[in-house]
Chains A and B, each alone.
Chain A
Amino acid sequence: MKLQVNGTVHELDIEPDMPLLWALRDELNIKGPKFGCGAGLCGACTVIIDGQATRACQTAVGDVTANVRTIDGLGAPDALHRVQQAWLDEQVVQCGYCQAGQIMNAVALLEANPTPSDKDIDDAMSGNLCRCGTYPRIRAAIKRAASGQQTGA
């Protein structure tokens, strides 16, 4: 089967019911999406498909027909996406394990809703668990990224 990830098409010989997460991590060595729960409860595996924040652990790879965006294709340390830059500016991260999923979820939110309210942020982000408790700084970073978007920065 074919699977397009961050613009690159890969040819895979795997079971169509393999979760996208494991196809990415173990078959394609794309390690940005993280395994957290395997049940769609924590958001660590979040990727973006067709503009939607999607839990890769709950998505069968055979069902994926569009390009999959992962954090690996979002930005590099010397060329950060503005959401990643906002994360740096607010010094959000602690252990960092959930943050790839948090960032991808925030990117999907801001692409759909450039000026989210606190409630919009809560609604979009509450499926993403963080055991280090970085939520206040995540909220600040989303607002910072949103304000940058408004001013065209």
Chain B
Amino acid sequence: MASIGKIARRTFLVGAAAVAGGVAFGYYKYKQPLENPLKKGLAEGEATFNPYVKIGTDNRITVIVPRAEMGQGAFTTLAALVAEELDVTLDQIAIEHGPAAPAYYNDAALREGAPFPAFDHSMVAETVRNAMGVVGKFLALQMTGGSSSLADGYEKMRLAGATARETLKAAAAQKLGVSAGSLKTEAGKVIDTKSGKSLTYGELALDAAKIDPPSDVALKPRAQWKLLGKPQPRKDMPAKVTGQPIFGIDVQLPDMLYATVRMNPQPGGAMKSFDASEALKMRGVKKVIAIDSLYGKGFAVIADNTWRAFKAADAVKVVWADGPGHRDDAEAKKILASTIAAGGGFSLRSAGDPDKAFADAPREKLVEAEYYAPFLSHATMEPMNATARLKDGVLDVWSPNQAPSVIKIIGARLTNLADDKINVHTTFLGGGFGRRIEPDFSDYAIRIAMETEGRPVKVTWTREEDISHGPYRPAALARYRARLGNDGLPVAIHGSVASPSVMAGMVGRIMPGLPTAGPDNLIVDGAYNQPYTIPNERIDGYKAPLSTPVASWRSVGNSFNAFMHESFVDELAHAGKIDPMEFRRKLMADYPTAIAILDKLKTLSDWGKPIDKTRAQGIAFTLSFGTWVGEVVQVKDENGSIRVEKIWIVADPGMVLDPLNFKAQMMSGAIYGLSAAIGQQISFADGAPQQSNFSDYDAMRMNQCPDIVIEILENSGHLGGAGEPATPPVMAALANAIFALNGKRIRSMPLNGEVSFV
């Protein structure tokens, strides 16, 4: 059985086979002196100390946050890491996303994704060699995902602040003719404690930039933190409550054109023909062009106004070819089921000998169940869009995106321009949830800008285009079986999970041609690595050959595995006639972090105390992205419809750098998961998605929103993520609460297929 710390490590985007080599790669990269990209764009009177800090003689202090602000609060909490060590207040700094540059690679996944000791190394040995190149190149990308921003920045960004601070002190020591030891820093000033003289950072900046930064600096102990660990007002809040034009869709440039795209709704399908003659007669329409991209085939309408482009696109007569994918949901389910039936899955961790345990299991001790989860759209509030300009041999892309260096790769591929002729401007994101790692919307904008003779063009998708085109959260099917002992606890659990591979899909879209063979731990993430002690246990993963493009969707594999695995754990508790909270306590007895969460949940929710017959509670627990989360959902029967009345969330991310924002992320993750569990699905008919707007792909609204109580614990000893970990358990907790209410066990999402909701 793996130990607690090993289980807690994150595995996002690291093909399971590849992590064995990952640590060495991370260390090597860490030691590489990476060029400071800020040196190129310095203004007069401005100095830079490292890729995260710029200081002007006018005392303007700029902190670079190279992770996309998509609502999760990265702008504030990551900037606070630098500000804490630099000894400046958050009021004193300006925050920017900064350019796309190798200095900002995200290595958290590697540092955190150490291999499990339970790996079958002989099995993965073959694929390690293939996947190493993939992972190495992949993670050198500047990416926001995997709830990894804090884990990635925690040391790097504090070091950046501390190094700049010490350099400023060295400059002050020279200027004042004193030893650095007598100097202290406070609120943007270096102060000589003996004479009381002080110099602002602005006064020191240009001199300090000439001094070699110290190679090792001490970071402040936690007890001395002024900003970290305390709630900070979000720096992006004033602009966002006053409607400032900060999103990608708000980009406004001189001489700009407006465009939209219509791509074949059948994934992978070609465009047979299109007739734009009517569209071209319409007011403001400049051009209609075909788009033939790796990400879709279709056309774009370029006009002088977004609405005119939308309207003209409706007037284009187009003939689509069928795509290669499944025609309808029944076929998708058949492919998933037959993938499992064919055998040849992979497993990343096993305990005991499950095959033997099942071989002689008495029929009455067996529990079996099959679960299904559908494709899902991310449905960010801001529809996909990007703005591009190709002028005088320079490509500029303004894009609300989670992976700016991917856009550079795409831009170079399309235009053949050198890296230094491509500028990516990351705007604020009106939601990301994994969708904006994808390159498609930026790719289309660049292609369209290649047709506008140097004029910038903003490309906005309709909501219908956004929802009816993936990449989607993959559909998944799982079969579970368990053998119960005489005490009602499981002697053995065996799961088989089939889903198309997100890892293979993403690599294929970003770096086509790289090998993507081998296991994809995302398929079993949230099932194989949970802190339950089962004497005989194995989860087998199967990469299903469904060709519909699939992507990261808030919590990735956990988003379906937690529903399935935690529903099954609940079924076992009922089969074993043990209270579901108590059942989990027994199975997680080896993990004090989990037990503390259950204790707190029990108290908060009054679990087990009688409530009236119209109400019931369900529990679920998921360890994902290094954060341990237990949730209790309370439902109420309102005249035959189910209301989600209340949720209690207890989370342990090891350490909380901003409790108010962490709670916001827990709330957000739970509501996002509830929206999916209650009513979301992308279903297919005739090879195409059937949903297209919030009328048929709705999300939770104010009148449906439960009361949410959140408690934070800090026992795990590991800095976990915030953006995703609340999403996985809420879906199972809701399904388990519905079972407790009316005895209906729903094994297929969305749950409104079998019950109605308020």
Contacts and interface: CB of A to CB of B under 8 A. Distances in A.
B703 A94 contact: no
Given A130-B381, A136-B667, A96 B240 contact: yes
A135 B463 contact: no
Interface in B242-258: 242-243, 245-247, 249-250, 252, 258
A129 B701 contact: yes
A29 B430 CA distance: 19
Interface in A80-95: 80, 84, 87-88, 91-95
A36 interface: yes
Interface string A7-19: 0000000110011
B672 A133 contact: yes
B161 interface: no
Contact of B381 (A26, A33, A42, A127): A42
B668 interface: yes
Interface string B652-674: 00000000110010011111100
A97 B431 contact: yes
Contacts of B243: 31-33, 70-72, 74, 100, 103
Interface residues of A, number: 62
A74 to B, nearest CB: 7
A87 B241 contact: yes
B707 A132 contact: no
Contacts of B307: 18-19, 21-22, 26
Contacts of A128: 701-702
A38 B233 contact: no
Question: Which of B307, B431, B462, B667 has the most chain A CB within a 10 Å cutoff?
Answer: B307
B699 interface: yes
A21 B707 CA distance: 34
A125 interface: yes
Interface stretch (B70-78, B92-100, B534-542): B70-78
A35 B703 CA distance: 23
A12 to B, nearest CB: 11
A75 B242 contact: yes
A139 B431 contact: no
B127 interface: no
A141 B374 CA distance: 35
A97 B664 contact: no
Question: Which of A70, A76, A92, A95 has the most chain B CB within a 10 Å cutoff?
Answer: A95
Question: Which of A26, A42, A96 has the most chain B CB within a 10 Å cutoff?
Answer: A96
Contacts of A36: 381-383, 463
A128 B704 CA distance: 12
B702 A80 contact: no
A93 B381 CA distance: 13
A111 interface: no
A71 B381 contact: no
B734 to A, nearest CB: 15
B753 interface: no
Interface string A38-52: 110110100000000
B548 to A, nearest CB: 22
Contacts of B701: 126-129, 135
Interface string B689-703: 000011100111111
Contacts of B241: 80, 84, 87-88, 92-93, 96, 99, 103
A132 B71 contact: yes
Contact of B237 (A21, A22, A32, A88): A88
A63 interface: no
Contacts of B707: 136
B694 A93 contact: no
B237 A93 contact: yes
Given A25-B306, A136-B667, A136-B707, A71 B699 contact: no
Contacts of A22: 305-307
Question: Which of A22, A87, A91 has the most chain B CB within a 10 Å cutoff?
Answer: A91
Contact of B694 (A42, A92, A100, A134): A42
Contacts of A25: 306
Contacts of A42: 381, 694
Contacts of A127: 701
A113 B675 CA distance: 30
A96 B236 contact: yes
B445 interface: no
11 contacts: A37-B693, A38-B693, A41-B698, A87-B237, A93-B237, A122-B703, A126-B703, A129-B701, A131-B699, A132-B381, A135-B701
Given A93-B234, A100-B243, A133-B667, 4 more contacts: A41-B695, A99-B241, A121-B702, A125-B703
Interface of A: 14-15, 18-19, 21-22, 25-27, 29, 31-39, 41-42, 44, 70-72, 74-77, 80, 84, 87-88, 91-100, 103, 121-123, 125-139
Interface of B: 70-73, 231, 233-234, 236-243, 245-247, 249-250, 252, 258, 283, 305-307, 310, 379-383, 428-433, 460, 462-464, 660-661, 664, 667-672, 675, 693-695, 698-705, 707-708
